[in-house]
Structure 1
Amino acid sequence: MKSAILYLRVSSAEQIKGYGPDRQKNLGREYAVRMGWAIECEIADEGRSAFHGANRMEGAALHDFELEARNGLHRGKVLIVENIDRLSRQGAKAAAQLIWALNEHGVDVATYHDGYIYKAGNNGDMMELFSVIIKAQLAHEESATKSRRTRASWDKRHADIANGSKETMAGRAPAWLTIRDGEYRAASGRAEILNEIYDLYINGIGIYKIVQTLNARREPPWPIRKKDGAGGWYMAYVHRLLTNRAVLGEYITLEGQCLAADYFPQVITAEKFARAQAVRGKKAKTGGRYFNRASNLLSGIVFCQECQGTACYEHKGSNSFTTYKGKDGRLRHYRRKTYERLRCDNFRRKHGCDNASLLDYRVVERTILDELLPRLVNRPAVDGALLSLREGVAERVRLKDADQKRLDNIIDAIGDGGVKALIERAATLEAALDEHTKNIDDLRAQLAIEEAKPSTFDDTALIEGLRNELDSPDEEVRSVTRGRVNMTLRRLLHRIEITPCDTFIVWPDKDTWWRFDENGVLLDGEQIWHASSKPLNAA
């Protein structure tokens, strides 16, 4: 009985949902039974286009099969496919070369759609050659026609959306929206979950922990990788939710053009989105294991004074034991001493820094929480009116940006068909606009971050309210609380520096500093501080 491999391919998510693989699988199995072949295995490429050759690129099942065939692993077998266009839609030459290459390595290719077998060895004839060329070219022309029609259809949709049409559907709705009566609307409960994700992230809870939280409470996943939805939430998807400007209502093309600022219903405020991006910028500077990040309240704000590199946090000896045999021959087990330390990471890695200072992390943490936080309250609490103004400013800035981008696109389109002088003038203006836009964007990003920050009073009150949970015996409570406090401390403190003299300097801002010894005793400092602050007394 001849051994066979069944190949399945669908090019889009819609085909996958339409059970295209199941149809191909059932028909392929029936064909193998009729031919008296035993199916050795089934290989599949889901969501890979044959028109662009994605199913033959590295990582695809067909790519791996070709390599195996080239190494003689499938000699004497038959590859079963629905028809030639499942293998390739890149034209007659590409399809013919693929089939003939498989034949040369001893593999027959059978298409059950028309019952034709392209045999290995010298069993082929001239009609087989014509058959491959004609079928492959027809498949390529069909795909090319579909591609042109699809591109024209999307160009028309994009033009309508840019002109303010709300009736034009952009296709599949974002996961937190649904389409009812020809309109996009927030799906039941999903806007609340999306806001919860943003709130958790802004409060210092990392993406990994957010995913764990959603999966632990069995929140039905939006990204369904399997038909039964068993895939759960995963980090890459939550990251996309935190960076997708469609939550603001904007329609962004794959090329990055903003066609409309209010196309979708807005489910996340501009102020909240800006704060999330500010948190992303801060988190990008840190790394390490999640356990260390959750334990270290000072992650991302401690640096070496000598090389300006980041400080590493070491937590050693936790839950570890040492064993030795006594004179009486009995084994004794002792818990090792647990210690947490801060030191220059470049020195630790012997990477061009001589700062060998090693500080007790708990001393630095206690100094920050007990000595400095009470003196950082130098601004009044933020009231609801100010928060509303912040949100309004951020929203209008966003709308202005979106309109400017739309205007730029229109100018570009006019310039492409204008006279030479107009084109040159447009090019000069575009260069100037690009420079202005870059400068404005940089300033606006800084403004959005500052405007989105809670007041110092709010931040210190938050930390005081969480003090009892920082060392909670419940690991879940402890890690979440420490993540929130870490993000708050990043707003309150400019930086902490480890000096070569076993001391550390705390900079609440760029103009104020205090130096402490390794035991947390104040040595000296420079105060340019709010009048209501109580001065620190040197030891």
Structure 2
Amino acid sequence: MKKAYSYIRFSSAVQLKGDSLRRQLEASRAYAKQHNLELDESLQDIGVSAYTGENATEGALKKFIELVKSKQVEKGSILIIESLDRLSRQAVLKTLSLFTDILSSGVEIVTLTDGQHYTDKSINDIGQLMFSLMTMSRSHQESEIKSIRGKAAWDNKRKLALEQKKPMTRKCPNWLIVNDEMSGFILIEERAEIIKKIFELSIDGIGQRKIAKTFNEDGIQPFTSGNIWHATYIRDLIKNRALLGEYQPKHKGEPIGKPIQDYYPRVMDEGTFYRAQAETKKRLSGSSGRKGKTFSNLFTGMCKCTNCGDTYRYISSLWTPQLMCNKNYMGADCNNATRYDYKTFEIAALVELSKKSNWFEPLSDNKDKTKIEGTIAACEAKLSEINQSVSRYAELFTSVDNDLLPDAKERYVKALKQQKSTNEEIESLKTRLGNFGAKEEAIRNISESFRKLRDYEGQQLYLIRTKINKWARDNDLRFTFGCDDIKMIIGDQEFSLVRKESEGLSRTIMTNIFEGISSQRFSSEEESAARLEKVKARALAMKERGEGLDLWFNPEEDDENEWKHWT
């Protein structure tokens, strides 16, 4: 039985909703049945253009042509198409070349709409040849006219979008809707507030999966057709420049021309947008992984063994969480076998941090620091885009025609100037940023979080602990764990956090945890004695509840070696 191949093509996937596929298939089947042919229906190019020649260079037709040339398609086989324009809508010479190549290989072509049957012999008939050429010419002209009209319409829409910010289409981000007159966009305020909350949480160090989980638990409805939030949607939203009002026209997923600025209503400023990008990148490059329901290890990624330099790992499988050297735990070559109670360590660390600053000291010159950080992040992101433009324009010199060379040069020089000025701005901002004191910055970012730790639970506690963790990472906080001591390092400063006594360290609690008493400074002996009495009273209450503890207390904070032991 002679074999036939049905080739189905239409240029838009939207046509799948119409009758094109059914019509072409049924016509091919009817022809094959009428002529007793074995029909192969696998050749389909859905949403592939014949005007640009994509079907012959990338699509199913290309594969068929390769099979023909390698003689895997037998001579005498028939290629069934609805009309010649399904094969190609390119210029006549290109279409004719494709057409004759197939015929020269011994494969016949049947066009159903006009009843033509072409072979390598029949095409010698001048009448059939002229008929095929006229059909090719008409198909190309029709497509060319459509292309010209379509481009003119698109150019006009782009012009209106640039000049009047008129929507090019009703399709828009799902926090916006197009007004009835198609003259602009309306911001859905409720969704805008949710987006701002996402950015706020991201800047505070909350991961995308945790944000999605929090929103789902709180019953916040997602913007998409799904019924739950996903981390991937949060990730894509944080990177979406439409939030800055920017629209990038695209064709088949590829950008066309420059982005249109202020096309959409802005949801946020550039500083906030780029700070979220920077924080996301920082989280990915730092300690990663899930932090548990309560962010169990507040100082994850910051604890190292003094002996071997490996991680002092958090072990949660014991009756109480502990910290110990990872190498020693795994039986490797480190003799530091000291285990420290994690809860004790965390309290001591927070207390020692609070001693380094007066948490109630007012700030006067630090309110602009966040703004400067955001501006730096925005400039760095812009610089990345400018660098790409510089590279792209540089490549143009090797490929552009001579008449376009002046324009390419002008763009290249302009990009170089932007690159230089942006670098200078970043350096200037970083210099200003360096003028802010570490102590004042610590106060601004974390004092409230310290005080709130004992007041919250559940999701609120997780968010507070995340904020503290982010602050610690931003300020290069580190801890080294030795056999007998723990040292806390902030930048280039080092402090002794815990000295292990003869009976070991079971519960070392410094007085700062009690009602924020030690956040204040006591100048007289009477005030210091009163402070000690309050601590003793709280400790007794804890003992009555069965919470045994050892209390190391320093009534004279100026001398860290004068520690009194009271039980």
User: 5 Å matches for 1:79-94?
Assistant: 93=94
> Does structure 2 conserve the Cα–Cα contact (< 8 Å) formed by 1:357 and 1:502?
no
> Secondary structure of the equivalent of 1:284?
helix
- Alpha carbons of 1:236 and 1:166: their partners in 2 closer, same or farther (altered >3 Å)? farther
> Secondary structure of the equivalent of 2:265?
coil
User: 5 Å matches for 1:328-477?
Assistant: 362=342, 366=346, 370-375=350-355, 378=358, 431-441=416-426, 444=429, 456-457=443-444, 459-462=446-449, 464-466=451-453
> Does structure 1 conserve the Cα–Cα contact (< 8 Å) formed by 2:196 and 2:268?
yes
- Alpha carbons of 1:277 and 1:289: their partners in 2 closer, same or farther (altered >3 Å)? closer
Equivalence for 1:490: 473
Structure 2 CA distance, aligned partners of 1:189 and 1:136?
55
Structure 2 CA distance, aligned partners of 1:300 and 1:200?
21
User: 5 Å matches for 1:28-427?
Assistant: 28-31=24-27, 34-35=30-31, 36=33, 93=94, 165-171=163-169, 172-180=171-179, 181=181, 182-187=183-188, 189-211=190-212, 217=219, 219-222=221-224, 229=225, 235-251=231-247, 254=255, 257=258, 259-260=260-261, 262-286=262-286, 289-290=289-290, 296-299=297-300, 301=302, 362=342, 366=346, 370-375=350-355, 378=358
Structure 2 CA distance, aligned partners of 1:116 and 1:365?
88
- Alpha carbons of 1:192 and 1:430: their partners in 2 closer, same or farther (altered >3 Å)? closer
Task: Give the superposition deviation at 1:23.
Answer: 3.6
TM-score (norm 2): 0.55
Once the two structures are superposed, residues 130-185 of structure 1 have per-residue CA deviations (whole angstroms, 9 ceiling, x without a partner) of 888877776667666666666666666656666xx234434443332222131122
> Does structure 1 conserve the Cα–Cα contact (< 8 Å) formed by 2:205 and 2:467?
yes
- Alpha carbons of 1:295 and 1:306: their partners in 2 closer, same or farther (altered >3 Å)? same
User: 5 Å matches for 1:513-532?
Assistant: 514=496
> Does structure 2 conserve the Cα–Cα contact (< 8 Å) formed by 1:8 and 1:21?
no
Larger RCO, structure (CA 8 Å, separation 6 or more)? 1
> Secondary structure of the equivalent of 1:31?
helix
Structural RMSD (CA): 6.7
Task: Give the superposition deviation at 1:307.
Answer: 11
> Does structure 2 conserve the Cα–Cα contact (< 8 Å) formed by 1:297 and 1:486?
yes
TM-score (norm 1): 0.58
Structure 2 CA distance, aligned partners of 1:132 and 1:338?
86
Identity %: 22
* Larger Cα-atom Rg: 2
- Alpha carbons of 1:149 and 1:207: their partners in 2 closer, same or farther (altered >3 Å)? farther
Code of the residue aligned with 1:494 in structure 2: it is D
> Does structure 1 conserve the Cα–Cα contact (< 8 Å) formed by 2:369 and 2:433?
no
Once the two structures are superposed, residues 488-526 of structure 1 have per-residue CA deviations (whole angstroms, 9 ceiling, x without a partner) of 4434x313255798976533345565566797989xxxx
- 2:488 paired with 1:506: yes
Code of the residue aligned with 2:420 in structure 1: it is E
- Alpha carbons of 1:232 and 1:371: their partners in 2 closer, same or farther (altered >3 Å)? closer
> Does structure 2 conserve the Cα–Cα contact (< 8 Å) formed by 1:506 and 1:514?
yes
Task: Give the superposition deviation at 1:51.
Answer: 6.1
Code of the residue aligned with 2:560 in structure 1: it is N
Code of the residue aligned with 2:268 in structure 1: it is I
Structure 1 CA distance, aligned partners of 2:410 and 2:463?
55
> Secondary structure of the equivalent of 1:178?
strand
> Does structure 1 conserve the Cα–Cα contact (< 8 Å) formed by 2:176 and 2:185?
yes
> Secondary structure of the equivalent of 2:185?
strand
Code of the residue aligned with 2:30 in structure 1: it is R
Structure 1, 369-378 or 48-57: larger mean CA deviation: 48-57
Task: Give the superposition deviation at 1:366.
Answer: 1.9
Structure 2 CA distance, aligned partners of 1:231 and 1:45?
35
Unaligned runs of 5+ in 1: 223-228, 318-335, 523-529
Structure 2 CA distance, aligned partners of 1:285 and 1:160?
43
Structure 1 CA distance, aligned partners of 2:96 and 2:216?
45
> Secondary structure of the equivalent of 2:198?
helix
Number of residue-to-residue matches in the alignment: 474
Unaligned runs of 5+ in 2: 250-254, 394-399, 510-518, 523-556
Structure 1 CA distance, aligned partners of 2:77 and 2:484?
72
Code of the residue aligned with 1:173 in structure 2: it is C
> Secondary structure of the equivalent of 2:164?
coil
> Does structure 1 conserve the Cα–Cα contact (< 8 Å) formed by 2:165 and 2:263?
no
> Does structure 2 conserve the Cα–Cα contact (< 8 Å) formed by 1:286 and 1:299?
no
Task: Give the superposition deviation at 1:303.
Answer: 7.1
